[in-house]
Amino acid sequence: MMAAVAFAGFAPVQAQQSNATAKPLITVLNPEIESKKADRVPLSPRLNTLEGKTLYLVDINWGGPEAAYSVFEEMQSWFAQNIPSLKIVIKKKAGMYSTDDPALWKEIAKNANAALIGISG
């Protein structure tokens, strides 16, 4: 007796019947990645306060040139009303969302106390 067995996300694998038993044997594939895993980098420590700090809001260009900018401007307005001593810098990452922008990361490391990097809108 042959039976097809499928696991979520795996290709069907044929079951095999052993001569010693009447029950079918099932072959299971291991989904673990065989290559070396990426080094884990811990998150930056949380700031005690945003008072007097510099916060970068970085648009990564996910939805096009105007997709997130207005949301970042709203955030800037909220911070201006609620934490007036917080300096907000809105930046657009160069290139597509999937490309690196070393110059921007260097600027943030030099000038910012914190950064919100991502998409919005």
Q: Which pair of structure tokens corresponds to residue 40?
A: 């884990």
β pairing state of 13-14 and 114-118 = unpaired
DSSP 29-87: ------SPPPPP-PPPPPPS--TT-EEEEEE--SS-TTSSHHHHHHHHHHHHHH-TT-E
User: Contact, 51 vs 18, CB < 8 A?
Assistant: no
- List pLDDT tens digits, range 50-62: 999 999 999 888 8
Answer for the pair 69, 59: CB distance below 8 angstroms, yes or no: yes
pLDDT digits (tens, 9 = 90+) for 63-121: 776 676 788 889 999 999 999 999 999 998 888 888 899 999 999 999 999 999 887 65
CA distance 10 to 28: 9
Q: Of 9, 112, 1, 2, whose CA–CA distance to 57 is shortest?
A: 112
> With a threshold of 0.85, does the pTM exceed it?
no
pLDDT of res. 50? 96
User: What are the extents of the domains in the chain?
Assistant: 54-118
